[in-house]
Structure 1
Amino acid sequence: MNELSHSARLPTELLRIIILHYLATVREEHGTIEVSKKSHKAPWCMVEPLTLTSRTCRRLALEGWFEVYFTHSPNDLLEAWPEFSTWTKELHCVEPGTDSQILPVMRWNLTLFHRLRKLRVDFEPSNPNAMLLLRFDYPRSIASQLQELELHDISWPSPMPLTVVAGAFHGLRVFKMSQDLIWCDLCNICRFATFKDHPPEQIVYEKIVGLPSHYTTLLKRLIHLQTVVLTIGYGLGGSECDACMDMMYSSKEYCEERITRKAVDRPPSLQSVIWRFRQRDPAEVVMDFEDEPELYVAHADGYTEEESDTGGMVATSSDD
């Protein structure tokens, strides 16, 4: 009887496949992947029964559930279980801070997460936060192994945060940004887009750049980058950029020169750029920082990229 019971057990490898498939299915059905500041993991109530069946199933269920680690605090990364270094592949952080808290507030320490392949950061859009990404590059050896970076609700999506991205996350293959405002490289300002009619849900550029020119110039340092996905909010009632479009694009020579420059500066491995659009009520869009771009220029002057003995970024004074 014992021999029969033992022989009827499923191999651990097959159990792992079954449990991971189950968790992926639950995640697709119950996840909130597009909702900012909410975890898109499978609900614990759908995982807990597996942890009560046997020791093997418990370990495999925990392993699968913690492939995505969701946290609101840098302290959680320091107190993580030792197993997380082999379990966690995606780190999903909610960062409620402001740019004034870059230092000496604690960094998000990635040291324990050796298998980390994706980092998602959800910022608070009502706070100036364009430079807070500086807190996520420690240690640099872990940050540079990330293959996918996803940023939600950067308050001022100018080229400046992309300078941090290109400097800290060298191994990126996929880069995603989702926020209400969009950078216009004609008038060099962040705007809330308004259209006369609803745009398509997404526009895909393949084998051509499709990025704002400053984005293209900065991201070309990412030699492995293959896909960029930009999700922006929009409203109806016209276009914020009619004036600069009429002025700049009336010149055929300017258009041709602009396209040629983008083709030269593009990231070498880039295959597709995807634009996605979500309708938003303009009354709910935070645009308080539109008239204060100097706030972010000040941060750029105050923080430069230098290698510390731990391999991360350190703050230096621009007056030194």
Structure 2
Amino acid sequence: MTEINRARRPQLPTELLREIVSHYTQTLPSRGPEKGRQSYKPAWSDFEPLTLASKVLRQLALEAWFKVYFARSPDDLLNVWPEFELWTKELHCIELDTDLQIRPVQWNLRAFRRLRKLRVDFDPAQSNAMLLMRFDHPRNIASQLQELDVHDVSWPSPMVLRLISQAFPGLRVLKLAQDLIWCNLCNICRFATFKNHPPEEIVYDKVVGLPKHYAMYLMPLVNLQTVQFTISYGLGGSTSLWHNDDTMWSGECDACMDMMFASGDFRKDWVERKKLIEKPPSLQCVRWRFRHKNVEDVVVDLEDEPEGGADQEEDEEDT
């Protein structure tokens, strides 16, 4: 009788259990997605009790845990479980190398056939602007990515945007978090300084909101809908962003704004020109977010420009 009663005991459908596990996963505290070079997945100890409850829950818990895959090196992608191609939708990679001594090493995405998002954390102490070339292998997997989240590119010139548009043509969302930003007036990457703390966020949803050269190199991304910048800034500048309607700020450095925007005619003409910049065909929103940082903590030598810099460009997740 005991065996019969056990066999007749009602069981929840797998589909409902999957929804329960998904909801449980969403309630777990993350470990801070804005902290670079460490996993932001919930701790494995939060998932482990589910794996011990039943065979079905073990399978569902593993699926939820490996939805985000955290890799500390390209070797972490070489021998993954076969199920990863079904489970993993977001890949978080830590790239600590330098493009000054680039090795023939690629991050092989071949095992992640359902991949939709890639996050790459670079080492801000290293020159790394060209290392994104390592992440487009194989190309058919890279081309299906819909979201790219890149942290701490050392020199975010328009050339980086060109690499992105060539390697990831299917992007819908592009997020860049970095210390420097490209100034379209002096054509150099600069550390932003303002007179006072800027708003938490500036949003452009009717005009382009991008530096001109960024917009130009993102044009091939026909599906791109959102671009988000998170940049570092310091105080001591002469410009405030609290009256942004007069400037439509999109990365101009404080020195250029202090010198050139003093002329009301130039400022008015520059703002009108920015409204007419051609943008990627599907672009709907550009967001600028700000994080306060002391200039002494910015590793890059702000007075140095890499070889082949501004003038040349203007011419042309925890296993």
TM-score, normalized by the shorter chain, greater than 0.5:
yes
Pairing of 1:139-154 with structure 2 (within 5 A) = 139-154=138-153
The answer (yes or no) to whether the contact 2:223–2:281 under 8 Å persists in 1 is: yes
1:94-138 C-alpha deviation (Å, 9 max, x unpaired): 00000034342x200000100000000000000000000000000
Task: Report the more deviating stretch, 279-288 or 218-227.
Answer: 279-288
1:60-93 alpha-carbon deviations (Å, 9 max, x no partner): 1010000000011111111111110000000000
Rate the CA distance shift 1:234–1:256 in 2: closer, same or farther, 3 A: closer
The 1:100/1:243 distance shift into structure 2, 3 A limit, reads: closer
Aligned to 1:17: 19
Per the alignment, residue 57 of structure 2 pairs with 57
Which one-letter code corresponds to 1:133 in the other structure? L
Instruction: Pick closer, same or farther for the CA change 1:296–1:68 going to 2, 3 Å.
Output: farther
Q: How far, CA to CA, are the matches of 2:219 and 2:78 in structure 1?
A: 33
Question: Aligned-pair RMSD on alpha carbons?
Answer: 2.0
Match of 2:135 in 1: 136
Which structure 2 residues correspond to residues 61-80 of structure 1 after superposition, within 5 A?
61-80=61-80
Distance change >3 Å, CA 43–CA 253, structure 1 → 2: closer
Cα gap change, 1:288/1:8 in structure 2, threshold over 3 Å: closer, same or farther?
A: same
1:186-225 matches, within 5 Å, as: 186-225=185-224
Name the residue aligned to 1:241: 253
The one-letter amino acid of 1:172's match is L
Indicate the residue corresponding to 1:259 in structure 2. 274
> Offset at 1:280?
0.9
Unaligned runs of 5+ residues in structure 1 are: 301-320
Equivalence for 1:318? none
One-letter amino acid of the counterpart of residue 94, structure 2? V
Matches of 2:97 and 2:68, distance apart in 1: 22
Give the aligned partner of residue 293 of structure 2.
Answer: 280
Structure 2: runs of 5+ lacking an equivalent: 239-251, 314-319
Which residue of the other structure, out of 275, 281, 288, is the alignment partner of 1:268? 281
1:141 to partner: Cα distance: 0.3
The one-character-per-residue Cα deviations of 1:118-163 (angstroms, maximum 9, x if unpaired) are: 0000000000000000000000000000000000000001111111
In the aligned structure 1, how far is the partner of 2:78 from the partner of 2:153? 25
Q: Distance in 1 between matches of 2:80 and 2:186?
A: 45
Taking the aligned partners of 2:297 and 2:255, their CA distance within structure 1 comes to 25
Deviation at 1:289, TM superposition (A): 5.8
Change beyond 3 A, Cα 1:198–1:73:
same
> How far apart are residue 205 of structure 1 and its match?
0.8
Aligned match of 1:185: 184
Partner of 2:95: 95
In the TM superposition, residue 209 of structure 1 has moved relative to its aligned partner by 0.8
State whether residues 190 and 302 of structure 2, in contact with CA within 8 Å, keep that contact through their aligned partners in structure 1: no
1:285 shift after superposition? 1.3
Distance between the aligned counterparts of 1:296 and 1:31, measured in 2? 37
How far apart, CA to CA, are the structure 1 residues paired with 2:66 and 2:60?
10
In structure 2, relative to structure 1, the CA distance for the partners of 1:146 and 1:271 (3 Å cut) is same
Normalised TM-score (structure 2): 0.87
Whole-angstrom CA distance in 2 between matches of 1:199 and 1:182? 15
Task: Give the corresponding residue for 1:84.
Answer: 84
Give the partner amino acid of 2:231: I
For residue 245 of structure 1, report the CA deviation from its aligned partner.
Answer: 2.2
